[in-house]
Amino acid sequence: MRFLSVFAGIGGFDLGLERAGWQCVGQVEIDPFCRRVLAKHWPNVVRFEDVREVTGELIRERCGDVDAVVGGFPCQDISFAGAGAGLDGDRSGLWRELYRLICELRPRFALMENVAALLNRGMGRVLADLARIRYDAEWSIVSACSMGAPHMRRRVFIVAYPYGVIRWAGIRDFANREDALSEIDRFASARIGYAERMANPSELYRDADGVPFGLDRSRAVGNAVAPDVAQWIGERINNALRG
C-alpha cells in the first residue's frame, strides 16, 4: 500500500503504517524542524513543503501512483482549547487542501486524524465533502493508551474509500466492544506508565532539560499521531482487503 503523508509532522502516522507493511512514497510538511526529522528517518522519500502548492499531478510525477492519502490536519481551530473557529479557521481550514488532494488523486483509501472535538466542530462538513466525491467513511475515537501508551490522547480517526468498492465493519468495531472502558483504554496501565515515565522527565522529553531544540521536540511530539494506533488501523485495513 503506497501512501502520501500530508501534514506529516515528525512521521508518527508514517512510522505506524510502515510497521503495518505500507510504503511511504511522499511527505508534505511545512515546519523546518519536522522536515529535518523526516529527512533523517526517510532520506529517500520525496518531500514537499507547503500543501497549498502541491497538486495531484505533481504527486504522480514525483511519487508515482498512491493507494492512500493520509493526514492529521491541523487541530488548533477545532480543539476545545482554541477559539472554536473550526474548519473556517486559518489552521484547521487546511482540511480543504487535504480534501483537494483526495479529489485529485482518488486514492483507494483516505485516512484522517484529528482531536476528538472534531465530532462537534466540523465532522459533518468532512463527511459531506467526502460524500460529495462518493467516498464512504468509517470513524472512531481511539485513545493512545488503548494501545498501551502512558497517556490518554483521544483522537478521532476516519477511514474513507470510494463508494461501493469495499464493505467492511471497519474501525467502528473498536468502539462497539462490550468491554468496560477501563479495559479498552487501559487507564490503570496508563497511570502506571505515566508515573514510571515522569520519574525521569529528561528521558520522556528526550533531554529537553537544556539541550537545544527541546521545545521543538516537545511541540513536534505533541502534534504527532501515535504510531501504535496508526499501525493498528493499517493492519485492520490489510485484514479487510484480505477478507
Give the pLDDT of the chain (243 residues) as one tens digit per residue: 999 999 999 999 999 999 999 999 999 999 999 999 999 999 999 999 999 999 999 999 999 999 999 999 988 878 876 667 788 888 888 999 999 999 999 999 999 999 988 998 999 999 999 999 999 998 888 888 777 776 778 889 999 999 876 655 554 554 444 444 444 444 555 555 555 555 665 555 555 555 556 667 667 776 788 899 999 999 988 988 886
Instruction: Give me the number of domains the chain comprises.
Output: 1
Burial 112-134 (b: 16+ CB within 10 A, else e): bbbbbbbeebbbebbbebbeeee
In terms of phi and psi (left: phi > 0; alpha: psi -120 to 50; beta: otherwise), the region of 82 is beta
Q: For residue 154, what are the β-bridge partners?
A: 143
The range of the structural domain enclosing residue 97 comes to 2-242
Nearest to 6 by CA among 61, 46, 41: 46
Active site residues: 75
Residue type, 157: F
| CA distance linking residue 215 with residue 219, whole number of Å | 6
- What does pTM read for this prediction? 0.83
Indicate the pairing of strand 68-71 with strand 109-115.
Answer: parallel
Find the angle CA(152)-CA(121)-CA(53) to the nearest 5 degrees: 95
CATH number of the domain residue 13 falls in = 3.40.50.150
Q: How many residues make up the chain in this entry?
A: 243
